Structure 1
């Protein structure tokens, strides 16, 4: 059985485990990037399979039948250890890991820097498509602490022990740009844009974790709170969910409906800066 690797996995450490039994490496890069170079043995996954894709909230989870088919195609078993990466700094890789968290599969890691971090260390690559051995994976009960729905957020977004982490851009938060009927943000939400945690000078690896932790605390996003993170479709905020997990937050949840659902719902309150 594959050893329990750290949640934030460095490329050099993954390179030592490529032949481990029960290791499943999932590449969520663009098709052309995967075709050009990927981690040896990595299986390519189209991120669209992680989304319901239905309007007005395309970021909601697929139903359990679709999720069971997806993870069966990937060859997931209870013993599988999943390592995910992408070419954009972690958004789609994190969406896969968050989905695993939702279905109660906790054996997973994120490759720090994704394919950029791997290539920067001059590690071996492959152009041969990874071929998983299909399994018969059946999704069971969901973890209620991984995902919140609209009703939960409506009831709790103003609770003093809850902080809503908005991972969108400053323009979206302020209501200057809108991709829904309503513009602005959830009342009381705090903004920390998802790419602020990435080191753009170091192959999109995470920045120093203590620095990120201090910056989040300055925004009221702290480990002693229940943190609910969202963006437009829970793509960007899957990454901020992952950042919270890496920082050791014990109660961090994703809102899969995100602004696409909140901003198009007739009964949701909206706030904008004065």
Structure 2
């Protein structure tokens, strides 16, 4: 484990940029990245973290492709990744969840991402950033926080799993249909991802997140599986749950898979 905390404030990250093992990965849009990024931060397109094959485009890419991505960003067992983005934490969360899936535990989230960094008036750079590729070998960790549709169905029958649906209320209710079927996984609790962001504090994670979730019934009494449409929004909710110490995994197939499978139960 690292001595750097999971949730980092911009003012905490600034002095760490000198440290050799710290690598900032920015998942902002290319346009925003080029317009100004944290000095030394490497840009990474979010597409690199997703399989991209319909219907469930949000599933993990093959290990071979992930290996190429992590070698290209210079990941070594000692690297401490700090992830940020320009949209409140979805893509940053997706990178950190992927690191956890491959068993790399040294990582942090820049709270509020680039919005908070700029809001704090910290320096920006437009310089090209290049890193020496690594030769790391990766695989899926035994304790990877990942769950599939079959496992969810089994655990719903056992009543030992809670589903956190990070989509919009309209998607959850089935009013907005983005798959063959509309609605939600039976018993799922809807808490849209943006509800965990504080717009008054540059989209940092809300300070009362634990109480807010507990009031909805997401309290960690059971293991939690979070999902959205493609495991982008739910990558942020996974990160929030992890930061609160909740037992949480993610379902990368998400609704784009569940809503298109013939035998999956749906409520609306």
TM-score, length-scaled by structure 2:
0.97
Question: Per-residue CA shift, 1:5-63, capped at 9, x if unaligned?
Answer: 11010000100111101111000001111011110000000000000000110000000
Correspondence list, 1:1-274, <5 A: 4-208=3-207, 211-249=208-246, 251-272=247-268
In 2, distance between residues paired with 1:216 and 1:76?
Answer: 34
Look up the SS of the partner of 1:157 in the other structure.
Answer: helix
TM-score, length-scaled by structure 1:
0.95
Shift of residue 96 of structure 1? 0.2
Look up the SS of the partner of 2:17 in the other structure.
Answer: coil
Deviates more, 1:131-140 or 1:43-52: 131-140
In 1, distance between residues paired with 2:46 and 2:123?
Answer: 24
| Alpha carbons of structure 1 residues 114 and 65: separation in structure 2 relative to 1, 3 Å | same
Task: Note if contact 1:157-1:164 (Cα within 8 Å) is conserved in structure 2.
Answer: no
In 2, distance between residues paired with 1:223 and 1:201?
Answer: 27
In 1, distance between residues paired with 2:205 and 2:127?
Answer: 29
Shift of residue 145 of structure 1? 4.1
Between the two proteins, the alignment pairs up a number of residues equal to 268
What's the RMSD between the two structures over aligned residues? 1.2
Shift of residue 217 of structure 1? 1.2
Unaligned runs of 5+ in 2: none
Shift of residue 158 of structure 1? 4.4
In 1, distance between residues paired with 2:224 and 2:259?
Answer: 20
Task: Note if contact 2:102-2:138 (Cα within 8 Å) is conserved in structure 1.
Answer: yes
Shift of residue 144 of structure 1? 3.9
Runs of 4+ in 1 over 6 A off after TM superposition: none
Unaligned runs of 5+ in 1: none
Question: Per-residue CA shift, 1:212-253, capped at 9, x if unaligned?
Answer: 21121122211232000000000000000000011111x200
